Amino acid sequence: MKGEDIQLDNYVYELPDDRIARYPLDQRDSSKLLVYNNGTIAHEHFTDLPSNLPAETLLVFNDTKVIPARAYFKKETGAVIEILLLHPEAPTRVINDAMLVMHSCVWECMIGNKKRWKLKDTLTTEITVGNELVKLQVEYADYERNHVKLSWDQDIVFLEIVKALGEIPLPPYLNRDTEERDSQTYQTVYAHHDGAVAAPTAGLHFTPHIFEKLNAKGIRKSFLTLHVGAGTFQPIKVSSIIEHRMHSEQVVFTKELIDDLIQSPDMIVPVGTTSLRSLESLYWYGVKLFRKETSAFQIEKLYPYTFENQELPTASESLKAISDFMDQENLAELVGETEIFIFPGYQFRLCKGLITNYHQPGSTLILLVAALVGNDWKRIYSEALNNDYRFLSYGDSSLLWRNE
């Protein structure tokens, strides 16, 4: 199937408002688990996950951590300006490094009530960080591109400024204000690297108890980092899906992860669509190295679809090319950018299955699920609706094995 042939109407389902889980369950791992395997569907609980995974499975998690990226500033006129941090622009575009910048930085932002914030207006506020009173100034660095410069007068890293200033930005479809407990519940128990504006929500179900059961079975785990952006909630609004803008997201892979993948190239199961997109992007980066196209890690939106009837390296060959490159360059980690768009017709290269929640109708993530399981995505979602599953970020889970 080609992207031009895909009709978005075929990937829409009716999601009643009362099926959206606006709050999490009290116990993370008490959610339901739908298991799909080669056309069959079973209904279980998330605590049953280990028994549904072969012992040779390698689970790959996204260890990004959601930052309190939404902040509000009140002008002297009384107008309230909302700023949502999206991506650092200066002095570095590497998110992990941007969190450690002091005194000033520039970020691309989403701006609420922008018509009330003029080009030359400077927003000011005072915040308390530890025992320090910090004066913060916010102004435009580039009005048209929504690049915002933030400056502060103390020797404090930007991450501490964000923590004192902002709030966790919940997905818009939850249609409620952020509450104090969201700072814990909208975060995986293994979150480590600060920088996301949305959680990798498939991972919200995991608990120390689940990890103990996985370890007891010998199931291995490894971690990558994709700092999830607000683009994950962007609906498709164009008639031709390939014209949909996929926001570029930053991915970080350690040499340890690459070595783990090389050991288990045939039984890799990502936890969440962000992990899946990262792993498939990694394969295509290996293709670029294998073909000696470039050493820059940038996977364009439709790059995987440009090789019709061409022989490509195997998963093992791609991973070896990456490992060799990292050895040659003495790299402990890779930092890249990906816009990869996975829709029906895509041939998966690394991922055998997927652990994921239930996604919005007509979204890029529904297209990704349909690419994995084919038209059975409709049966899966119908079964979930008919069996009182909870949907979206705080909702229930599924284990989907790829149709061969």
Residue 235's alpha-carbon distances to 71, 130, 232, 361, in angstroms, are: 23, 40, 8, 9
Whole-number pLDDT of residue 275: 97
The model's confidence at residue 48, banded by pLDDT at 50, 70 and 90, is: very high
Question: Residues for the chain: how many in total?
Answer: 404
Query: Token digits for 157?
Result: 């890293």
pLDDT one-digit tens code per residue, 347-386 = 999 999 999 999 999 999 999 999 999 999 999 999 999 9
Whole-number pLDDT of residue 233: 62
Residue 241 has pLDDT above 90, yes or no: no
Q: What is the DSSP letter of 167?
A: B
pLDDT one-digit tens code per residue, 160-208 = 999 999 999 998 899 999 999 999 999 999 999 999 989 999 999 999 9
Closest by CA position to 286, among listed 323, 330, 321: 321
All residues at 6 or more sequence positions from 303 whose CB lies less than 8 Å from its CB, including other chains: 284, 340
Residue 3 has pLDDT above 70, yes or no: no
HEC per residue, 265-308: CCCEEEECHHHHHHHHHHHHHHHHHHCCCCCCCEECCCHHHCCC
Q: What's the rounded mean pLDDT across residues 121-137?
A: 93
Whole-number pLDDT of residue 245: 83
pLDDT one-digit tens code per residue, 130-156 = 888 999 999 999 999 999 999 999 999
pLDDT one-digit tens code per residue, 282-337 = 999 999 999 999 999 999 999 999 998 889 999 999 999 999 999 999 999 999 99
Whole-number pLDDT of residue 178: 93
Query: Cβ distance 69 to 112 under 8 Å?
Result: no
Whole-number pLDDT of residue 186: 97
Whole-number pLDDT of residue 4: 66
